[in-house]
Amino acid sequence: MTVLRRLGALTACSVVALLSGCAAVYEGRYDFRDGWRKGEVDAILSWADVQRERLPQCRRPAAAADDVWVVIRYIRSGHLTKFAAPAPNGSFRVAEAVYVNPGRDCAEALGRTTSPSG
- Judged on CB neighbours under 10 Å (0-12, 13-18, 19+), 69 is buried
Looking at residue 100, its amino acid is V
> Are the CB atoms for 36 and 53 separated by under 8 Å?
no
Other C-beta atoms lying within 10 Å of the C-beta of residue 99 = 22
DSSP helix/strand/coil, 58: coil
pLDDT at position 15 is 46
pLDDT at position 64 is 66
- 83-111 pLDDT, tens digit per residue, is 999 887 778 999 999 999 998 888 889 99
> Are the CB atoms for 56 and 83 separated by under 8 Å?
yes
pLDDT at position 65 is 65
Eight-state DSSP code of residue 5: H
Between CA 118 and CA 38 the distance in angstroms is 8
Look at the pTM and tell me if it is higher than 0.75.
Answer: no
Give the start-to-end residue ranges of the domains of the chain.
35-112
pLDDT at position 47 is 86
What lies within 8 Å, CB to CB, of 115 at 6+ separation is 97
pLDDT at position 49 is 92
